[in-house]
Amino acid sequence: MSQNVSEKALPAVEDLSRDEGAISTNSTSTTRTASAHHTVTRADLADAVHRRIGLSRAESGEFVEAVLSEIFNAIVSGDDVKLSSFGSFHIRSKGERVGRNPKTGASAPITARRVVMFKASNVLRARINGQRAIED
Amino acid sequence: MIKSELIQRIAARNGHLYQRDVETIVSTILDEITLALARGDRVELRGFGAFSVKRREARTGRNPRTGEQVSVDEKSVPFFKTGKEMRERLNEAHG
């Protein structure tokens, strides 16, 4: 029972610091902040639904999937999707054009294709910049 | 399709839930994505796409109408990258 530095569960980091380091490199918190940007996935969304509505985790996961696939199908079928205070998705058709391989410089044709455009709402833009929405 | 139509479509397939609950589910999901982006996190939804935040440095811009110089503060903007599956589905019929 020496110094137990763990504030929260940091399994990997804790293991390292336990390796009788003569000089304490109190890097525990630094490691955390360095990798502070983490990736949110379907599981996190399902967890939020579970916490908010109280549906089982399994059912919450199914609803996340249902919402995403409903949006997916609408976009893929060419329907514009507008989610107020979040943003909108629409399809843009791009014509064929001549591109270049950036590595070799050789020109290569780029075929006509359809791409998804996402336009974030003013509310979302404002939230990302730590403000309240100006107008939407 | 707008948000209310999305809610109706999901409610229609899940008769055991009130439309109100489906509304809460949809807004919880969108809120969670918004919160993540506000923290600077990335939201990765395989097959669908990924939302991330890109930083734009401060710059000197011009009012396009008057030509007047204005300083534009640094800001972060949301970005969506289409997922592989969606990209493929959009272009599969077009050979």
Whether A112 and B30 lie within 8 Å, measured CB to CB: no
Query: Domain check: are B18 and B50 in the same one?
Result: no
Residue pLDDT, tens place only, B28-73: 999 999 999 999 999 999 999 999 999 999 999 999 999 899 999 9
Give me the numbers of helices (H) and strands (E) for chain B, helices first please. Answer: 3, 5
Is B87 found in the same domain as B52?
yes
pLDDT at residue A132 tops 70: no
Nearest to B48 among A72, A112, A129 (CB): A72
In terms of domains, do B46 and B90 share one?
yes
Q: How is chain A split into domains, by residue range?
A: 1-77, 78-136
What's the pLDDT score for residue B14? 85
| Rounded CA separation B53/B51 (Å) | 7
Q: What is the mean pLDDT of chain A?
A: 79
The structure tokens 């935040």 sit at B53
A78-136: CATH class:
few secondary structures
Q: A128 and B2: CB-CB below 8 Å?
A: no
Output DSSP code: residue A43. H
Using a CB–CB cutoff of 8 Å, tell me whether B70 touches chain A.
no
Whether the CB of A56 is below 8 Å from some CB of chain B: the reply is no
Instruction: Mention the CATH class of domain A1-77.
Output: few secondary structures
| Cβ <8 Å between A127 and B34 | yes
Q: What is the pLDDT of residues A25-39, one digit of tens each?
A: 444 433 444 456 789
Q: What is the end-to-end Cα distance of chain A in Å, rounded? A: 57
Task: Identify whether residues B90 and B50 lie together within a single domain.
Answer: yes
More confident residue, A122 or A25: A122
How many domains, chain B? 2
B62 and B49 within one domain: yes
Whether A78-136 and A1-77 are alike in CATH topology: the answer is yes
Please list every residue in chain A whose beta carbon sits closer than 8 Å to the beta carbon of residue B44.
39-41
Are residue B53 and residue B69 in the same domain, yes or no?
A: yes
In 3D, which of A71, A92, A118 has the Cα closest to residue B90? A92
Question: Å from A102 to nearest chain B CA?
Answer: 21
Domain coverage including residue B15 = 1-40
ipTM: 0.89
